[in-house]
Amino acid sequence: MPAEKRLAVRGSERKPMPGASRAEAVKGDEIVRATVILNRRHEPGAPPPGGLKHESRQHYGVVHGATSNDLGAVERFAHQHGLTVSERHPERRSIVVSGRADAIQRAFGTELAYYVTKGGARYRGRTGGLTLPATLAPSVMAVLGLDNRPVAKPHFRRRKRTAPATSFTPVQVAQLYNFPSGVNGAGQTIGIIELGGGYSTADLSAYFLALGIAEPNITAVSVDGGQNQPGGDADGEVMLDIEVAGSIAPGANIVVYFAPNTDQGFHDAIATAAHDATNQPSIISISWGGPEDSWTEQARNAMDAALQDAAQLGITVTVAAGDDGSTDGAPDGLLHVDFPASDPNVLACGGTKLAASGGAINSEVVWNELASNEGATGGGVSKLFALPSYQASAGVPVNPETNFQGRGVPDVSGDADPETGYQVRVDGQNTVIGGTSAVAPLWAGLVALLNQQIGKPLGFANPLMYQAAESAFIDITLGGNNADQNSPYQAGKDWDACTGLGSPNGSALVDALLGKSASQKGA
């Protein structure tokens, strides 16, 4: 019988993590779980600009989901190789298969082994690319989960210095940014993606009681076995996200999607939230990420497709831009932007240092505490995603290292410096936390208020943000996000690669969006 012709899965090549060494082969009887992501039946056009009618989840799944032929081909492939199909999601274009490691390796043409990093962390990994039968490979966008190395880190920063400093409750930050009053996010659902950690209901009850705010309705959803498991450092991320978003929009439902910190888990969490017909989030907040070129091409493509789905379905996705300045913490010291903040389908959120007194802002500059090892806002120009049309007139420069005309990061900003951070409660302790992780849920809460006040979801909000009047933002014109003062990324008038369009002037933003929405309705 002739050997089966196989083709490479585009962009699936892997290398060991920097400094990691192979420890041992994976045992043949270990159970491995993978998500196979298929191409769309029909590619959608550009996402509808914010406020315009978007497709229903059901209709979108039928038109743009996977074909029954492709789904059937994956199922037959799995059964031929002794694998079990444990989940099937036509609307998400994904099938989850599982089986013994020896069968998985034969099925996908790879060898799995355990690797140990210099820090002693252990992960299951692979090198090289994956292959599939030539009849199936053209239909497959990605195969995620065979390699379970962590792909992202949470973008929060605990205050380190003990010197007197300023801190705010999320409510105070909202007041300083003139968030709209008379609305509380009722009728909206904010989805929050978490790749670790957990929350304590007792802590949340105590926190909102102390603020005099009605505790929002909070639900946990498990994705790929992820669970609400408080007790580790990532609790700071989870509690920060819930407490900031919940303080801003206490009338909104909050749904926390817990998933493993792997490319499979991250993708599946976003896809689950976007297509969640039960909870139907209108906003998704993401405070995790990593340098965009640290991802495999297939994982980036799969994540991008899931974020495209969210935009098409009228969901606003707010994403933290990173806490390590213009290098995004990459060891090569070069310029990097964080992903998924660099994806053109999301609202990327950068960070500032906020000073205020008497209920008014005294000053606001780029967050940059790199000199004291307390981080700086991420930002810059993508090396992988092209300049989107909504940034065509924003003055985004080419990437200074590659001359690529890439997507500029961030789009907007807000208070993030841990020295002017947010008062939160984590694992029974009141503390102060900053980072762009706080800005993503801050904007998520604001969007919930805007959705309620405008009467319909903003959805893909980026075009409206870039068309809004200058008065809708507080322009940040001082500071840079590199340890070197000669950094190519400096704040300036209008959009810049440190704070984007600026921090929100909430009421002015409402006026701008209402005016734009009315003009669209009459068009």
**The pair of three-digit structure tokens given for residue 24, joined into one six-digit string:** 């041992």
What is the rounded CA–CA span in Å between residue 192 and residue 285?
Answer: 5
Nearest Cα residue to 286 out of 319, 316, 255:
319
In contact, 473 and 512? CB cutoff 8 Å: no
Q: What is the 3-state secondary structure (H, E, C) of 258-292?
A: ECCCCHHHHHHHHHHHHCCCCCCCCEEEECEEEEH
What is the rounded CA–CA span in Å between residue 335 and residue 325?
Answer: 9
Based on DSSP, count helices (H) and strands (E) in the chain, helices before strands. 11, 27
What is the rounded CA–CA span in Å between residue 351 and residue 491?
Answer: 12
Q: Where are the beta strands (DSSP E) in 358-475?
A: 360-366, 380-386, 406-409, 412-415, 422-426, 429-434, 473-474
Active-site residue, 91 included: no
What is the rounded CA–CA span in Å between residue 241 and residue 13?
Answer: 34
Residue 288 pairs in a beta bridge with 154
Active-site residue, 237 included: yes
Please tell me which residue in 235, 241, 328, 415 is annotated as part of the active site.
241
Please tell me which residue in 413, 437, 487, 517 is annotated as part of the active site.
437
Active-site residue, 285 included: no
- The conformational region for residue 364 under phi > 0 = left, psi -120 to 50 = alpha, else beta, is beta
**The pair of three-digit structure tokens given for residue 13, joined into one six-digit string:** 């090549």
Instruction: State the Rg of the chain over Cα.
Output: 22
Please tell me which residue in 203, 235, 237, 268 is annotated as part of the active site.
237
CA atoms within 13 Å, Cβ hemisphere of 186: 6
Give residues with Cβ within 8 angstroms of 278, minimum separation 6: none
CA angle 510, 466, 170 (to 5 degrees): 50
Nearest Cα residue to 106 out of 22, 32, 11, 39:
32
Give residues with Cβ within 8 angstroms of 335, minimum separation 6: 326, 327, 380, 381, 399, 400, 401, 488, 489
Distances (CA, A) of 488 to 3, 293, 424, 434, 492: 54, 20, 34, 25, 12
**The pair of three-digit structure tokens given for residue 468, joined into one six-digit string:** 């809004």
What is the rounded CA–CA span in Å between residue 344 and residue 19?
Answer: 32
Catalytic annotation, residues: 237, 241, 437
